[in-house]
Structure 1
């Protein structure tokens, strides 16, 4: 991995991690998690637009003791950085002050471009919570080559979208490969259990992307492409795929009647996992994945990704196909429910794109910065199972489960784990820079940090 001579060494930066957007609902959860779990001596700065709110948060955190006895830098010592996402100068100063920037300021299409670019230019590792296809696509086009030249890891989507999906497939592939069972073929993620809310920030991001799609047909084509985040927007299958499918249960569990419903996060998660597969295949030297998408979807020369270490995967193979669904029971009733879920998702998207109904929905859907009570979040949890038939005919499955609300406390743990791995596990990271994914950019170091955070991650051979 190369670094531009004009870029300062991030190990010499004053802050290990800067949390930007710390005073938002999820931002406070992230800050609380880091205060309790960051290693002793970690230098963490809280950043945002309002110094008074930042100071109030720091005071609140200062009274919360570490839960595992490892932290030696109390929150009372954390610096406060006032910065505005609309200021290129502020974003540059923020990026140049840290080893890792963790940003929670969305929608990212509106507020995230300057910071992602500043981190790519400064050689600073970066993590966010975006679930916006168009923002991620634009970031790849603008920042991938720049980040490769400076050694920065720009890792989007480090929350519920899309760490469980990306890591679930990675650990399944790695276990199958280590057993000598070959590359992955048809792979299906099934959400078997999920309890928890969708954040106001997620809703606002969806709203922003739908506005962009409605206003620009070219942008709509990018959003619809199954490979919109792949190098050159190219993949092994058709570019137009149904990423909100109704799937017969028998296709995953032999002999079972009924259907799986579409999973509402699949249109984004699937693209992240496909990008991981493409980047790892490129590292393994497979043809057809050079370049990364420009604004118009054209490839950028020289965007091959090279290098790997023991924390890296070696590519899922050209036969890899991926989809995500959600369990809604068994038998005939499940098929009825699956159709209702698909119709409901279509109605929600249509309603958010139609101005009169959009205004009505805005009054019902959670607003940015809002979130459920701690007691409500305490009941949150999720379990996902990933099933794949390898090209050698062996069935493997992995499971990712967490006893936390996926959109709030769970997401706070996940993005914190990603930031801590980038800051402190550098000798275990894949030897790769650019605009990456959790699995391709952080790899096994992230898996271990997630397990430390309470996530159960397993893989087993079925036959």
Structure 2
């Protein structure tokens, strides 16, 4: 039986950017895991390259339709958006190429999911299409990969458990991240795009560093003092582990805070959220935290400085490159999110999965997000506009990821002695 939900459109899901590194991984994932009858198409600028990619996919994908579309051609994007229920876009950097795609989807009432980790792009998308998407019913869902599904769904589960236990709103909440994974040229190119935008317009740095930059109503946000991203190494008082800056915190935290605001601050008006990288206890943990934090700082500084950027570019992988298949399989991530509620009860959410977090696991997350948007309409929250994974898909996506062997759990912690 067909799983199609909109017979007036020829496709259920279109993977835009299917010839790129992550786009191919998402196509492979859907070729292996999409339910029978789901109508998937591959989209990109070059029909020749699309044919080549399709030929490498599992047999059930060999007859998938091909859609030629280019972000520089509005008519092709309009045709793409009008042909499908949902678009999964891997065409980045999104700050350079993403806005025409979300505009086409918002106009067509087409759901959209991407992998952005770019605060500036999400802010521009909100300003440009949020109102129109609400009119057409489109769910424009950014950050549907390692940025920022584990963070966003993990905090959502904490909130739901606190509500179920009548434990009050969430207060201080911290995510501790551990992972093993590689780096792709596309990820670096996205960072480069934001840095270049800031160098051209210094005022944009205020947006990037604003903890509530993605809020739907910045003025209404609670005054909790300066909520800064962690920038130093220290021993965590609760876990005893050495922690340091988490490279994705500057984006993930904004997404989680937007989820809270879009839900009318359901997580709590005194909800404070931060993310750190965890390295373990003792001298070894301290050493690792110090070394990794130093290397990360040098890399960011090298990429930001126009004089050193060419050197960094020569050493870094190029766009379209990424970890080998063996490295993607051997990767993993584990996020532990601790919170204290208004009644003093304490909880721990665990979100983890096997596979390189930015590639193997992200292909699952984006693939399941696209299927969720295309097929699970009756299970989804009533929402439209520029949304987050938690506000657009919520528990429906949690169920899908659990079915793919992701761990998403919440446990109550004992009272402090």
TM bucket, shorter chain: over 0.9
**CA distance in 2 between partners of 1:175 and 1:11 (Å):** 38
**1:422 aligned onto 2:373:** yes
In structure 2, the residue matched to 1:122 is 108
**1:455 aligned onto 2:399:** no
Shift of 1:346: 2.8
Q: Of residues 87, 91, 98 in structure 1, which corresponds to 2:84?
A: 98
**1:272 aligned onto 2:255:** yes
Deviations 1:97-124 (A, max 9, x none): 1100000000001111101011011110
Q: More displaced, 241-250 or 200-209?
A: 241-250
In structure 2, the residue matched to 1:310 is none
Q: Of residues 155, 166, 181 in structure 2, which corresponds to 1:180?
A: 166
In structure 1, the residue matched to 2:66 is 80
Shift of 1:347: 2.3
**CA distance in 1 between partners of 2:276 and 2:118 (Å):** 19
**1:228 aligned onto 2:228:** no
In structure 1, the residue matched to 2:180 is 195
Q: Of residues 49, 58, 68 in structure 2, which corresponds to 1:53?
A: 49
Structure 1: gaps spanning 5 or more residues: 1-8, 64-73, 283-314
| Change over 3 Å in CA distance of 1:179–1:320 after alignment to 2 | same
Matches within 5 A, 1:275-294: 275-281=258-264
Q: Of residues 366, 370, 385 in structure 1, which corresponds to 2:317?
A: 366
**1:216 aligned onto 2:212:** no
Shift of 1:233: 3.0
Deviations 1:402-421 (A, max 9, x none): 01110111100000010111
Deviations 1:262-297 (A, max 9, x none): 111111111000100110126xxxxxxxxxxxxxxx
Shift of 1:247: 6.5
**CA distance in 2 between partners of 1:168 and 1:233 (Å):** 24
Deviations 1:175-230 (A, max 9, x none): 12112212110000001x31111221111000000011111122111111111111
> Does the CA contact (< 8 Å) of 1:244 and 1:342 recur in 2?
no
> Does the CA contact (< 8 Å) of 1:153 and 1:441 recur in 2?
yes
**CA distance in 2 between partners of 1:101 and 1:90 (Å):** 14
| Change over 3 Å in CA distance of 1:388–1:365 after alignment to 2 | same
**CA distance in 1 between partners of 2:375 and 2:238 (Å):** 39
> Does the CA contact (< 8 Å) of 2:183 and 2:323 recur in 1?
no
In structure 2, the residue matched to 1:351 is 302
Q: Of residues 373, 384, 387 in structure 2, which corresponds to 1:433?
A: 384
Shift of 1:24: 0.9
Shift of 1:381: 0.5
Q: More displaced, 329-338 or 144-153?
A: 329-338
Shift of 1:336: 5.0
**1:396 aligned onto 2:381:** no
Structure 2: gaps spanning 5 or more residues: none
| Change over 3 Å in CA distance of 1:115–1:89 after alignment to 2 | same
Deviations 1:287-344 (A, max 9, x none): xxxxxxxxxxxxxxxxxxxxxxxxxxxx201011100011112135544543444443
| Change over 3 Å in CA distance of 1:196–1:205 after alignment to 2 | same
Q: More displaced, 393-402 or 194-203?
A: 194-203
> Does the CA contact (< 8 Å) of 2:234 and 2:244 recur in 1?
no
**CA distance in 2 between partners of 1:398 and 1:11 (Å):** 39
**CA distance in 2 between partners of 1:189 and 1:54 (Å):** 39
Using the size of structure 1 for normalisation, the TM-score is 0.85
Q: More displaced, 52-61 or 33-42?
A: 52-61
**CA distance in 2 between partners of 1:127 and 1:10 (Å):** 18
> Does the CA contact (< 8 Å) of 1:275 and 1:437 recur in 2?
yes
How many corresponding residue pairs?
409
> Does the CA contact (< 8 Å) of 1:261 and 1:337 recur in 2?
no
**CA distance in 1 between partners of 2:411 and 2:268 (Å):** 19
**CA distance in 1 between partners of 2:7 and 2:224 (Å):** 43
> Does the CA contact (< 8 Å) of 1:133 and 1:268 recur in 2?
yes
**1:387 aligned onto 2:338:** yes
Using the size of structure 2 for normalisation, the TM-score is 0.94
In structure 1, the residue matched to 2:361 is 410
Shift of 1:452: 1.6
Shift of 1:20: 0.4
In structure 2, the residue matched to 1:312 is none
RMSD: 1.7
Deviations 1:417-451 (A, max 9, x none): 10111111110100010100000111111001111
Q: Of residues 103, 107, 113 in structure 1, which corresponds to 2:93?
A: 107
In structure 2, the residue matched to 1:285 is none
